[in-house]
């Protein structure tokens, strides 16, 4: 799944002029910076009113991870970073409401689609973290 297919977490993108060199960067205080999902994009220059002049930039995710250097700890922090502490519970509750037909059909469809999108994004993000963790931290 490409980063541009993620809808819920798009607002968390960071912009860089160049792609950072490392996936995981160890900080002097023991925390980690996790960098992933960078893609090249064209951005309009801010002072260009007509938006005819652009520059190349890279958009991706930059997340600070702290505490124990373990996959489970990093997964928990990534979930909290992207969706907050209780977002998954909210989506599950809404999904259950929809599955029991407790709201109108349009809202049912919305709840089901929102939860399905969340699951796809969560799988993408956590699988990416696990693969990167195994490749760069446990090597």
Contacts of 135 (CB under 8 A, 6+ apart): 23
pTM equals 0.81
Number of compact structural domains in the chain: 1
| Full residue range of the structural domain in which residue 91 is found | 3-137
* Residue carrying structure tokens 């992933």: 36
**Which of 58, 64, 69, 79 is closest to 125 using CA atoms?**
79
- Span 87-121, pLDDT tens digits: 999 999 999 999 999 999 999 999 999 999 999 99
97: left (phi over 0), alpha (psi -120 to 50) or beta: alpha
- Span 54-77, pLDDT tens digits: 878 888 888 999 999 999 999 999
Enumerate the β-bridge partners of residue 41.
57
């Amino acid at each position: 799944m490409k980063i541009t297919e993620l809808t819920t977490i798009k607002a968390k993108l960071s912009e860089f002029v160049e792609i950072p060199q490392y996936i995981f960067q160890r900080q002097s205080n023991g925390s980690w910076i996790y960098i992933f999902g960078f893609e090249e994009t064209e951005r309009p220059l801010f002072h260009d009113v007509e938006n005819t002049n652009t520059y190349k930039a890279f958009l991706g995710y930059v997340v600070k991870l702290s505490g124990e250097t373990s996959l489970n700890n990093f997964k928990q922090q990534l979930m909290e970073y992207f969706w907050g502490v209780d977002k998954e519970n909210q989506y599950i509750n809404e999904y259950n409401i929809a599955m029991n037909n407790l709201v109108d059909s349009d809202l049912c469809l919305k709840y089901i689609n929102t939860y399905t999108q969340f699951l796809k994004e969560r799988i993408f993000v956590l699988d990416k973290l696990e693969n990167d963790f195994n490749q760069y931290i446990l090597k």
